[in-house]
Amino acid sequence: MTMRSENVKVGLDRAANRALLKATGVTDNDMDKPFIGIANSWNNIVPGHLNLRELAEFVKAGIYSAGGVPFEFGTIGICDGIAMGHVGMRYSLPSREIITDSVEAMVQAHQFDGIVLLCGCDKIIPGMLMAAMRLDIPAIMVTGGPMLSESYKGERLTIGSAFEAAGKVKAGKMSMDEFRCVEDMAAPGCGSCQGLYTANTMSCLTEALGLSLPGCATAHAVSALKRRIARLSGERIMELVRKDIKPNGLITRESFMNAIKVDMMIGGSTNTALHLPAIAHDAGVDIKLDDFGGISDEVPHICSIAPSGPHTMKDLDEAGGMPGVIKQGLKLLSDEMTVSGLRLSEIAEGAGEVDECVIRSLDKPVHAGGGIAVLKGNLAPDGCVVKTAAVVESMQTHEGHARVYDSEDAAMKVILGGNIREGDVIIIRYEGLKGAPGMPEMLNPTASISGLGLGDSVALITDGRFSGATRGLCIGHVSPEAADGGMIALLQEGDIISISLPDRSINVKLSGEEIEKRRSKWKKPEKELKGYLARYSRMVSSADRGGVLE
């Protein structure tokens, strides 16, 4: 077996290289073994990362026992919840590319033979998956696992409960003592937030894509099962290296289609419409926003997980986890191979009994269509995204007057000031990939609207994006975005906005003449940018293309 690591450890002219390796504790006997990188995004500010240092030791034990030499290195990781609602959120999505580049740099500089991607949370999982596809060396991912939930007054809390609490206090529905209790109990320990938000959605899709072991996505952060999966993944990477099984030879276009289908089945975060195309881009596979729209019309939504339903990730895990979802939806999926050495059909066979109260059958779905939909119309000619699984029946079609704001901060002042009325359509623009820049999530406005009791009567449209914790008629990723002169930039207060989820349409009721009149007067607002965000704003593509750098 020829090893990449021979480039740094074999030959007379590599004496200095070997000397430096020996400085880290590597022995002469180790020089003949595969060198395995462990990209670990551990830090102690992100709850979803607190257990990764411990899991790394189990990964290393697996690598050692299977005859390899592990080398651990770090990447950055941003907590979207902590970054939410201020300038920090502009850095969240752009951090995805930093993570990808940093993993690429470390792997190429040190010529690892294989890589274990150990991570959790929103941008870190897709960033590392992009690196795996770009590098195309044997790779396997271990996601950190979901957080457990606590109950308060008979309600299972999630991090979404804390975001919505401010609106409830403002509406007089919650006392300050209750507010503090929710704040203290909404995130009771380590792990990714408890619902089917972006972190857990991406963990699930990693498993469906075939790049993590069965059960990894829903094995909780504090569970012994998570530790065992970490060790088994360390052992498995050695087998992948010995057989030279690489992501681009394993993960096909059909694998990506499977991931989108599973996304529709579970009703995942709308952020997957950014991440899957970006991961596919690094794999040389063309995935478009339209692929999501077509699949959404064909694949039913079979899991009702928070924020769109009563269940949490613990319920999903106990009901059968992703093997259970694959089993229920197998006839819609292509039978692709995975890093486990098993095809999806074999994973489904080993799923055991599935709790159909949580993971329904295809013929008894929660909704007939997928949990995410792509809308188009004169307001978003290149498309926009909505999590249909989180929209109540009465808001499937909606028409209302536009309330137009050029930033999230401006909208929040009006929302918390009590100046939003039933039926309004809130427009938050210049928060896109180029305009913000960085396409910040809008969980504070959506959670405040829900907390105020307006979630079932008010719509929100933005060229920014939403947290997976968002619920209600919240439409994001509007393309083209305002900074590119998209229609959203031309809207004015009081314009009539018409939305139809069944028709997959979104329009503003204006004549072509009026639109062109407004377009002729539009000027792009200037923002003074510096550092990484200035470079990012110049290089980033549109949301309908995954927001990749060009």
Output the DSSP codes for 243-255.
TT--HHHH--HHH
Q: What is the pLDDT of residue 545?
A: 92
Does 307 score more than 90 pLDDT?
no
- Residue 388's alpha-carbon distances to 94, 279, 297, 509, in angstroms, are 26, 24, 12, 23
Q: Take residue 173 and report the two structure tokens written for it.
A: 């529905």
Average pLDDT over the chain, rounded to an integer: 95
Does 442 score more than 90 pLDDT?
no
Q: What is the pLDDT of residues 27-54, one digit of tens each?
A: 999 999 999 999 999 999 999 999 999 9
CA distance 352 to 262: 19
Q: What is the pLDDT of residues 173-191, one digit of tens each?
A: 999 999 999 999 999 999 9
Q: What is the pLDDT of residue 467?
A: 80
Per-residue burial over 145-163, b = 16 or more CB atoms within 10 Å of its CB, e = otherwise: bbbbbbeeeeebbbbbbbb
Catalytic residue among 102, 467, 498, 542: 467
338 φ, ψ to 5°?
A: -130, 170
Q: What is the pLDDT of residue 425?
A: 97
For residue 550, name the pLDDT band (cuts at 50, 70, 90): confident
CA distance 91 to 122: 12
* Nearest residue to 227 (alpha-carbon basis) of 239, 245, 215: 215
Amino acid at 122: D
**Helix (DSSP H) and strand (DSSP E) numbers for the chain:** 21, 14
Q: What is the pLDDT of residue 451?
A: 83
Does 448 score more than 90 pLDDT?
no
Lowest mean pLDDT among 126-135, 303-312, 496-505: 303-312
Q: What is the pLDDT of residue 201?
A: 96
Output the 3-class SS for 264-311. HHHCCCCCHHHHHHHHHHHHCCCCCHHHHHHHHCCCCECECECCCCCE
DSSP tag of 367: B
For residue 503, name the pLDDT band (cuts at 50, 70, 90): very high
Active site residue 467: yes
Q: What is the mean pLDDT of residues 188-206?
A: 94
Instruction: Strand 139-143: give its sheet, edge to edge.
Output: 69-74, 35-40, 114-119, 139-143
185: phi > 0 → left, psi -120 to 50 → alpha, else beta; which? alpha
Inter-residue contact 311 to 200 (CB < 8 Å): no
Does 1 score more than 80 pLDDT?
no
Inter-residue contact 306 to 196 (CB < 8 Å): yes
Which three-class secondary structure state does DSSP give residue 384?
Answer: strand
DSSP tag of 510: -
Q: What is the mean pLDDT of residues 374-397?
A: 94
Does 370 score more than 80 pLDDT?
yes
Q: What is the pLDDT of residues 260-283, one digit of tens each?
A: 999 999 999 889 999 999 999 999
Asked whether the CA dihedral 367, 369, 373, 377 is positive or negative, the reply is: negative
Q: What is the pLDDT of residue 234?
A: 98
CA distance 459 to 450: 11
Inter-residue contact 205 to 259 (CB < 8 Å): yes
